[in-house]
Structure 1
Amino acid sequence: MLNLSLDKTNRRALISAIVASGTDDLNVMFLSFSMSSIMADLAINGAQAGWIATITNLGMLLGGLVFGVLADRYPKFKVFKWTIVIFALATGMIYLTSSLPYLYLMRFIAGIGVGGEYGVAIAIMAGIVPKEKMGRISSLNGIAGQIGSITSALLAGWLAPSLGWRGLFLFGLAPLLLVLWMQLAIDDHAISDHASHQSDEDTEIAHLSHLFKTKALTKQTLALMVMTTVQIAGYFGMMNWLPTIIQTSLGISVKDSSLWMVTTILGMCLGMLVFGQLLDRFGPRLIYTVFLLASAVCVFLFQFANSQLAMVLGGAIVGFFVNGMFAGYGAMITRLYPHHIRSTANNVILNVGRAVGGFSSVIIGMILDASNPSTVMIFLASLYLISFLAMLSIKHLKAEHYQTLSHQD
Structure 2
Amino acid sequence: MDMSTGALRLEAGIAARLERLPMTGYQRSLFGIIATAWFFDSMDLGLMTFVLGSIKAEFGLTATQAGLLASSSFLGMFLGAAVAGLLADRFGRKPVFQVSMVFWGVGSLMCGLAENVTTLMLFRVLLGFGMGMEFPIGLSMVSEIVPAKKRGKYVAILEGFWPIGFIAAGALTYALLPLIGWRGLFMALALPAVFVFVVRRRVPESPRWLEDVGRKTEADAVMAGIESHVERAWGRALPPVADSYAPPPQTGSRKARFAALWTGPYARRTVMLWSVWFFALLGYYGLTTWLGALLQQAGYAVTKSVLYTVYISLAGIPGFIFSAWLLEKWGRKPTCALMLLGSAAAAFVYGQAAVHRVPVEQLIAAGLCMQFFLFGMWSVLYAYTPELYPTRTRATGSGFASSIGRIGSLAGPYLVGVLLPLTGQGGVFTLGALSFVVAALAVLVLGVETRGKALEEVSR
Q: TM-score, normalising length from structure 1?
A: 0.85
Matched, 1:213 2:231: no
Aligned equivalents of 1:104, 1:255: Cα separation in 2: 24
Instruction: Count residues in correspondence.
Output: 400
Query: How far off is 1:195 after superposition?
Result: 10
Preserved contact between residue 50 and residue 292 of structure 2 (Cα < 8 Å): no
Select the residue among 155, 158, 167 that pairs with 1:138: 155
Moved more, 365-374 or 306-315: 365-374
How do 1:1-16 and structure 2 match up within 5 A? 5-6=23-24, 8=26, 10-16=27-33
Select the residue among 269, 287, 290 that pairs with 2:335: 287
1:387 counterpart residue number: 439
Q: 1:313 to 1:157 in 2, by over 3 A?
A: closer
Give the letter aligned to residue 207 of structure 1: R
Matched, 1:110 2:127: yes
Aligned equivalents of 1:361, 1:231: Cα separation in 2: 13
Matched, 1:407 2:426: no
How do 1:17-56 and structure 2 match up within 5 A? 17-35=34-52, 38=55, 47-56=64-73
Preserved contact between residue 292 and residue 321 of structure 1 (Cα < 8 Å): yes
Q: 1:72 to 1:96 in 2, by over 3 A?
A: same
Matched, 1:89 2:106: yes
1:177 counterpart residue number: 195
Give the letter aligned to residue 285 of structure 2: F
Give the letter aligned to residue 108 of structure 2: T
Identity %: 25
Select the residue among 105, 120, 124 that pairs with 2:137: 120
Q: Is there any run of 5+ residues in structure 2 with no aligned partner, and where?
A: 1-20, 213-246
1:323 counterpart residue number: 375
Aligned equivalents of 1:192, 1:405: Cα separation in 2: 14
Preserved contact between residue 230 and residue 387 of structure 1 (Cα < 8 Å): yes
Aligned equivalents of 1:46, 1:382: Cα separation in 2: 22
Preserved contact between residue 70 and residue 289 of structure 2 (Cα < 8 Å): no
Q: Secondary structure at the match of 1:204?
A: coil
Specify the structure having the higher radius of gyration (Cα): 2
How do 1:258-269 and structure 2 match up within 5 A? 258-269=306-317
Moved more, 361-370 or 140-149: 361-370
Query: How far off is 1:404 after superposition?
Result: 8.2
Q: Secondary structure at the match of 2:457?
A: coil
2:393 counterpart residue number: 341
Give the letter aligned to residue 359 of structure 2: S
Select the residue among 72, 94, 101 that pairs with 1:77: 94
Q: Secondary structure at the match of 1:407?
A: helix
Q: Deviations over 1:270-296 (max 9, x none)?
A: 111111111122212222232233233
1:239 counterpart residue number: 288
Q: 1:258 to 1:91 in 2, by over 3 A?
A: closer
Q: Deviations over 1:166-185 (max 9, x none)?
A: 332222132211211233xx
Q: 1:132 to 1:264 in 2, by over 3 A?
A: farther
Q: Secondary structure at the match of 2:383?
A: helix
Q: 1:279 to 1:353 in 2, by over 3 A?
A: same
Aligned equivalents of 2:415, 2:63: Cα separation in 1: 15
Query: How far off is 1:210 after superposition?
Result: 2.2
Aligned equivalents of 2:325, 2:454: Cα separation in 1: 13
Preserved contact between residue 336 and residue 406 of structure 1 (Cα < 8 Å): no
Give the letter aligned to residue 288 of structure 2: M
How do 1:369-388 and structure 2 match up within 5 A? 369-388=421-440
How do 1:154-169 and structure 2 match up within 5 A? 154-169=171-186
Q: TM-score, normalising length from structure 2?
A: 0.76
Moved more, 220-229 or 196-205: 196-205
Matched, 1:351 2:369: no
2:318 counterpart residue number: 270
Select the residue among 358, 368, 388 that pairs with 2:420: 368
Preserved contact between residue 276 and residue 439 of structure 2 (Cα < 8 Å): yes
Q: 1:403 to 1:312 in 2, by over 3 A?
A: farther
Query: How far off is 1:204 after superposition?
Result: 2.6
Query: How far off is 1:80 after superposition?
Result: 0.7
Matched, 1:58 2:75: yes
What do you get for the CA RMSD once the two structures are aligned?
A: 3.1
Aligned equivalents of 2:176, 2:56: Cα separation in 1: 18
Preserved contact between residue 196 and residue 339 of structure 1 (Cα < 8 Å): no
